[in-house]
């Protein structure tokens, strides 16, 4: 019988052991890795030398709050100490005491009532008879959690018979931060009668197995007792992650390339912008909801910004108040230069393109800007308070809505999207306006990526432009999410290098 050193180490320990051993016990005893031991056990079972038994066991694994829960008690346990003297507290007083002691009130109510320890009566939290009995007696799950923390994990079948295991499952299975109950398939192995006959030490020849022969093996003659391992060329190779730029940087680079290829000129502007260029120059009224603190980040330092030359400011002021010479009636309020001087973190890169329009209002012109913008958004799978945007304008006396939609369709085609749709929308500074959406396969829904339209005369004429101006603002973070298969926009900024390494270079 010819066996390798590692095979013989596994068989020998099982030969010398009368009872069964788990795979982990074998690994700990002979200090081999699990794949080597598992492979040897499988080989021994195929030869009829080993008997393998699989048992399903449930293990309690302490969570991040387990030690604190054992030391201080679960929230509902701590609540008993608040109630045991009077037996009753108003919800307000109980919440105040719980806040002082850093006990989550919602946990007290949820788990205290589930256990039957407390009850809500007429706005008060009342200690029940079951709760009084529980003051000095740990419940089944608390005893199990204490044992799990002491041993850094414990199987349910190892708990004392006095503990109701089903009660432990019920009370711990939904408290992941305290503990988790996981099912484990435990493989135990023991030597069969056939193995004890055929694997006697005198019947076995142990050979050394190596990947390569060294010069010392050859000169010493040791090579005669060495067997070279077979190489399985069908096995998967180790995964490698070639160096590559971050997906957001790649999208930004591809966006710039796409517009440059279409003949646009790139422009830049500061992230700290005046409300004048961010809102007023775009004919957005000073009482518009988007200009409220809950939607826009205003700065306290610097608190104000300089305005451009006075004639330009006067034209925009008049446009807001009475329409100036644009044919509009304006918004009909008294425009404030104080509000226009406020500094904001720019809410869109349209502030860049309207600056460019003011600097060069004569046709033809095609410019774009890529940069970070900021909005006071609720964080979700498709919203962030700061994100990247690309804005662009086309200044051309012959341009029209078809020009705008065709340009955007070509941009998204260059970015790899064919399923695009436009639908009418409203923006204070464009008319007509259109929203752009692309199809997100992973969520089976359309995702809105930005807005577009033709600047209203109230925007262009005060800046000295009397021809049509096509404009758009597109979100790049959502574009990256769609392009590279992310289902949550926040993943783009998490410190998950492994996830980033898996993102394909070409997609």
pLDDT for the residue 102: 85
pLDDT for the residue 419: 87
pLDDT for the residue 507: 62
Distance CA 98, CA 286 (A): 45
Which helix (H) or strand (E) element contains residue 274? strand 272-274
pLDDT for the residue 448: 86
pLDDT for the residue 353: 94
pLDDT for the residue 176: 86
pLDDT (tens digit per residue) in 464-496: 999 999 999 998 888 888 778 788 888 888 877
Question: Which residue stretches of the chain have pLDDT < 70?
Answer: 442-443, 505-507
Nearest to 314 by CA among 288, 276, 343, 263: 276
pLDDT (tens digit per residue) in 329-367: 999 999 999 999 999 999 999 999 999 999 999 999 999
Nearest to 41 by CA among 28, 31, 52: 52
pLDDT for the residue 418: 82
Whether residue 86 contacts residue 125, with contact meaning beta carbons closer than 8 Å, is answered with no
Q: How far apart are the first and last CA of the chain?
A: 54
Task: Spell out the domains of the chain, with CATH numbers in brackets.
Answer: 66-180 (1.10.10), 248-502 (3.30.930.10)
pLDDT for the residue 485: 79
pLDDT for the residue 112: 86
């Amino acid at each position: 019988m010819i066996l390798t050193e590692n095979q013989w180490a596994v068989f020998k320990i099982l030969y010398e052991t009368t009872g069964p051993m788990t795979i982990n016990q074998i690994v700990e005893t002979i200090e081999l890795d699990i794949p080597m031991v598992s492979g040897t056990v499988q080989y021994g079972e195929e030869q009829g030398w080993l008997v393998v038994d699989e048992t399903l066991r449930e293990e309690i694994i302490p969570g991040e709050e387990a030690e604190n829960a054992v030391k201080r008690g679960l929230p509902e346990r701590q609540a008993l100490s608040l109630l045991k003297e009077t037996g009753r507290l108003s919800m307000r007083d109980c919440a105040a005491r719980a806040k002082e002691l850093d006990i989550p009130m919602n946990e007290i109510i949820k788990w205290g009532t589930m256990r039957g320890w407390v009850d809500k009566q007429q706005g008060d939290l009342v200690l029940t008879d079951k709760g009084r009995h529980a003051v000095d007696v740990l419940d089944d799950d608390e005893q199990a959690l204490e044992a799990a923390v002491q041993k850094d994990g414990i199987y349910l079948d190892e708990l004392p018979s006095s503990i109701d295991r089903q009660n432990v499952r019920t009370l711990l299975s939904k408290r992941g931060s305290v503990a988790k109950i996981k099912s484990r398939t435990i493989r135990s192995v023991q030597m069969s009668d056939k193995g004890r006959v055929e694997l006697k030490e005198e019947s076995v020849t142990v050979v050394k197995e190596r990947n390569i022969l060294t010069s010392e093996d050859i000169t010493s003659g040791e090579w005669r007792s060495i067997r070279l391992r077979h190489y399985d060329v069908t096995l998967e190779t180790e995964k490698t992650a070639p160096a590559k730029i971050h997906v957001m940087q790649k999208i930004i680079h591809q966006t710039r390339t796409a517009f440059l290829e279409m003949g646009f000129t790139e422009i830049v502007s500061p992230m700290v912008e005046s409300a004048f260029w961010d809102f007023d120059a775009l004919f957005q009224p000073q009482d518009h909801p988007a200009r409220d603190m809950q939607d826009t980040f205003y700065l306290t330092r610097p608190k104000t910004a300089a305005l451009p030359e006075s004639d330009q400011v006067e034209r925009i002021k008049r446009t807001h108040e009475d329409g100036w010479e644009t044919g509009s009636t304006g918004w009909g309020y008294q425009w404030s230069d104080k509000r226009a001087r406020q500094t904001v973190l720019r809410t869109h890169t349209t502030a860049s393109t309207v600056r460019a329009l003011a600097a060069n209002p004569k046709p033809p012109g095609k410019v774009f800007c890529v940069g970070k913008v900021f909005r006071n958004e609720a964080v979700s799978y498709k919203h962030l308070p700061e994100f990247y945007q690309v804005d662009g304008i086309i200044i051309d006396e012959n341009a029209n809505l078809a020009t705008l939609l065709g340009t955007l369709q070509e941009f998204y085609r260059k970015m790899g999207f064919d399923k695009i749709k436009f639908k009418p929308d409203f923006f204070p500074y464009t008319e007509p306006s259109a929203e752009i959406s692309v199809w997100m396969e992973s969520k089976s829904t359309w995702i809105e990526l930005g807005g577009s339209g033709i600047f209203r005369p109230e925007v262009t004429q005060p800046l000295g432009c009397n021809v049509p101006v096509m404009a758009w603002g597109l979100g790049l973070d959502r574009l990256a999410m769609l392009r590279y298969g992310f289902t949550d926009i926040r993943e783009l900024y998490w410190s998950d290098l492994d996830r980033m390494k898996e993102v394909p270079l070409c997609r």
